[in-house]
Amino acid sequence: MKNEQNQPLPAIKCLIVRLQKASLLLPLNLMAELVDGNQLSPSTHPGVEGWLQWRNRQIPVVSLESLCMLEDETLSNEGKCLILHTLSPMAGLPFIALRVRGGLNTLEILPDTLRDDHSGNVQRCPYVARQVRASHLLCFIPDMPAIEAVLAEILQLSAEQPHAPLNESQG
Domains of the chain: residue spans and CATH: 12-154 (2.40.50.180)
Sign for the CA dihedral angle at 100, 103, 106, 109 comes to negative
Which pLDDT score, from 0 to 100, does residue 109 have? 87
Which has the higher per-residue pLDDT, 132 or 72? Answer: 132
Does the pTM surpass 0.85? The reply is no
Q: How much of the chain, in percent, has pLDDT values that exceed 70?
A: 80
Please give the mean pLDDT across all residues of the chain.
Answer: 80
Phi/psi-derived region of residue 29, left when phi > 0, alpha when psi is between -120 and 50, beta in every other case: alpha
64-104 tens-digit pLDDT: 888 887 665 554 556 899 999 999 888 788 999 999 987 88
